[in-house]
Structure 1
Amino acid sequence: MIRARFAPTPSGPLHLGNLCTALLAWLHCRLQGGVFLLRIDDLDRPRLQPGAEEAVPRDLRWLGLDWDEGPDIGGPHGPYRQSKRRWRYHKALSSLRRRGLLFPCRCSRRMLAAVSAPHGATPLYPGTCRNRRDWGHQQGKLPSWRWRAPNRYCHVPEMLQPAPEGWLPAMVGDVVLRRADGFVAYHLATAVDEMAMGITQVFRGADLLPTTAVQVALVEDLGGRPPRYWHGPLLLNHHGQRLAKRTGALGVDALRQAGWDAPDVVGALAASVGLLDGRQRLSAAELLSGLTLPRLEAACQTGTITQLEGLPLGENSTP
């Protein structure tokens, strides 16, 4: 059985880029007769905005997207929330630590910025603390917990883009899985949840492809089987920049205030990705009924990055 998910972080309202990813992930799952889940990635509390978490399911329903499970089994009563699942992440951390796959790290960000070896766009951890064993307080501070990247070859099961592959120490390095302030890192929580929820495929934006090898390797280290991945189109503003909450990309409420309804948005998103020949007004269900899986995957593969015309993208995104 296909099991897929959409997992936004409520750090602001869902913007058009988020809605596009949600729509494509929903279509991709529904065309295969799969189970579609909604998970709110709300662990990093300082990043969250008041009201954003409650808006996610409301905005998705407005767009015409549904999901199949929630904390109340038997219907779409609500999304899963990572903040309610912390015990799973700490159990995984304990398992990795017992097996010697973690080490304490006391390097500051300033220190790492000065000595980290560059590797593409992301510097790799230089291994400064790999031999440390002091897990307790020092000068009133606890260490962060780093994953000891295993010396094995990783091939990401990516179905749309060129699949990343390589030896993990040189590919991703020793990433932090638990910060010094106690927050569990995104990579670990994601890997644990994919396993616990039985996720078999993940459709998400192409900007997350570089982080996928870490999650694949962690699932393997925790005894699971990684899902297959489809990293799809990103929407750009008029400056060629990826839409983002931090740059003022508009959310659903702003779109509605500008006079756009759900069929307008669905039609514009579908046309931008190449699923329609020209702009149309239609519901998500109507789009699904006239679509095939090969056409969806072909459109997402050739339209890796695209731009919407006519939709209000945000005050910082105007020409």
Structure 2
Amino acid sequence: MAVPEHLQQHLTAGRVLAAAYGYRDRFAPSPTGVLHLGNLQTALLSWLAARQAGGGWMLRIDDLDTPRNRAGAIEAIQRDLIWLGLHWDGPPVLQSERRGTYHSWLSWLRRSGRLFACRCSRRELAGQPIYPGVCRQARHSWGMQQQRLPSWRLRVADDDPHGSGDVVLRRADGFIAYQLATVIDDISFGITDVVRGADLREALPAQHSLFAALGEDPPRFRHGPLLRDARGRKLSKREASAGLEPLRAAGMDAPAVIGCLASGLQLVPPDARLSATELLDDLTHKDITALIS
């Protein structure tokens, strides 16, 4: 079943943007709280890679999971990035404002026979890293049954090289799944490269399977190193999660924070002080992508 014209427009727009920029990345935090130091290190690395390539850097807010969103978090994310000098191109994109787009793609995938309704509970699937295909051949209702909606899964071939299993595209609570929204956005906004945290490496198989199902090439995905202090020691989650406020309260300004993050990436010596732009200039002869894989 061919992609309808109104969805083809998304594909065309993405290709135009990708061609115009050559290199286009996105930083996509969820507004569940302040940006922690791990987020900020990833943002810095992503920004540096995009600017070193002469490309674009987009800010996308992944705010679809509304029960987890915190009031004021979107504004705080933008303030922190601006304070650090990590400026993005164009207006921020809020996924909550693109629900119609995601539902249009979801509807087309369902009409084309690529989806099936799955009524497996999390408890039933516990301990199974790949969905075992329990509901793939069943004829479950798409609507409410025993006060529960089904999840909607993409039917992925058994010989799919990515090993993702059948990917959830709409959750049982009715929310659009992260995998669908992020893939559609990467296509629509011409994302060619994604530098993100190592914790998202496990999302690769599902995203690759969905790109393949849509007949689109995925971006080049690379994953930054774990957050470490200036001595190379891994920071604990508690140390990393507080964000910028404790650093500001301790008297650190933006150049000091950039220096701290950059020294954690072993780009500069400990106690360095420099702006994001100065750091970029200092790295003229050092390939940022060598730090990520």
Cα contact 1:274–1:299 (8 A) shared by 2:
no
- C-alpha displacement of 1:135: 1.2
Measured in 1, the distance between the counterparts of 2:282 and 2:53 equals 14
- C-alpha displacement of 1:242: 5.6
Number of residue equivalences: 269
| Partner residue in 1 for 2:106 | 93
Measured in 2, the distance between the counterparts of 1:271 and 1:227 equals 28
| Partner residue in 1 for 2:35 | 14
| Partner residue in 2 for 1:288 | 280
| Partner residue in 1 for 2:142 | 135
Question: Equivalent pairs: percent with the same residue?
Answer: 54
Q: TM-score, normalised by structure 1?
A: 0.79
Higher helix share: 2
Measured in 1, the distance between the counterparts of 2:201 and 2:78 equals 25
Measured in 2, the distance between the counterparts of 1:283 and 1:58 equals 16
Measured in 2, the distance between the counterparts of 1:248 and 1:281 equals 20
Aligned residue runs from structure 1 range 138-149, under 5 A = 138-149=145-156
AA at the equivalent of 1:139: Q
Aligned counterpart in structure 2 of residue 151 of structure 1, from 151, 158, 163:
158
- C-alpha displacement of 1:268: 1.0
Relative to structure 1, is the Cα distance of residues 34 and 93 closer, same or farther in structure 2, using a 3 angstrom cutoff? same
Aligned residue runs from structure 1 range 218-233, under 5 A = 218-233=210-225
Q: Is 1:253 matched with 2:242?
A: no
Measured in 1, the distance between the counterparts of 2:122 and 2:99 equals 25
| Partner residue in 2 for 1:174 | 166
For residues 179-216 of structure 1, give each alpha carbon's deviation from its aligned partner in whole angstroms, at most 9, with x where no partner exists.
12210111110000000101000010111111112112
For residues 154-184 of structure 1, give each alpha carbon's deviation from its aligned partner in whole angstroms, at most 9, with x where no partner exists.
xxxxxxxxxxxxx34xx22122110122101
Relative to structure 1, is the Cα distance of residues 151 and 241 closer, same or farther in structure 2, using a 3 angstrom cutoff? farther
Measured in 2, the distance between the counterparts of 1:142 and 1:228 equals 35
Q: Whose RCO is larger (CA < 8 A, sep 6+)?
A: 2
Q: Is 1:48 matched with 2:75?
A: no
* Structure 1 unaligned residues grouped into runs of 5+: 71-78, 118-122, 154-166, 302-319
Measured in 1, the distance between the counterparts of 2:174 and 2:130 equals 22
Q: Is 1:216 matched with 2:190?
A: no
Q: TM-score, normalised by structure 2?
A: 0.85
* Structure 2 unaligned residues grouped into runs of 5+: 1-21
Relative to structure 1, is the Cα distance of residues 228 and 299 closer, same or farther in structure 2, using a 3 angstrom cutoff? closer
* Runs ≥4 residues deviating over 2 A: 150-153, 236-244, 292-295, 297-301
| Partner residue in 1 for 2:130 | 124
For residues 6-49 of structure 1, give each alpha carbon's deviation from its aligned partner in whole angstroms, at most 9, with x where no partner exists.
00011110011111000110000001110111000000011111
Measured in 1, the distance between the counterparts of 2:105 and 2:159 equals 20
Q: Secondary structure at the match of 1:235?
A: coil
AA at the equivalent of 1:100: G
Cα contact 1:236–1:243 (8 A) shared by 2:
no
- C-alpha displacement of 1:136: 2.3
Measured in 2, the distance between the counterparts of 1:284 and 1:266 equals 6
- C-alpha displacement of 1:254: 2.7
AA at the equivalent of 2:58: L
